[in-house]
Structure 1
Amino acid sequence: MNRIKEVLEKKGIKQIWLAEQLGKSYNMVHSYAQNKRQPSLEDLYKIAKILNIEAKELLVEHKDNIK
């Protein structure tokens, strides 16, 4: 899971702008933002660079309750 949509909203950035900067279609970026698809690690780092944040800020931390 990713936080792309949340980060874009927080920064006031449109998905279409990110798609243009990333060189991807709007539909692809929209799929990332809706968590229907996950970006490759390479694209995740590109997105982070474009948004001027750390890549880890785009990820949802998953904690298992395994004992």
Structure 2
Amino acid sequence: MSKTIYNRIKSVLAEKGKTNIDLAGSLNITPETVSSWCTNSAQPSVKRLFEISKALDVDVRVLLVSTKQ
């Protein structure tokens, strides 16, 4: 059984040429927290998603996996 992917943070970081450490520094949190989001083992709060979108200069919707096929 495959793991459910809820967010695209890892993909967006790669698209922007940024690292977990870059994002962690922007949000003043640990790189381990960002890593847990990137592996989808934990999810950021909605408030934090908006902070991530600002830090990465993307629409917040880009950070989520679409529910439409």
TM-score by length of 2: 0.87
**Count of aligned pairs:** 64
Displacement of 1:23 in angstroms is 1.1
Structure 2 regions of 5+ residues with no counterpart?
1-5
Superposition misfits of 4+ residues, deviation over 2 angstroms: none
Alignment of 1:1-67 (within 5 A): 1-63=6-68
Displacement of 1:28 in angstroms is 0.4
**Larger Rg: 1 or 2?**
1
Structure 1 regions of 5+ residues with no counterpart?
none
CA distance in 2, matches of 1:12, 1:63: 27
- State the identity %: 41
Letter in 1 for 2:55: I
CA RMSD, Structure 1 to Structure 2 (Å):
1.1
TM-score by length of 1: 0.90
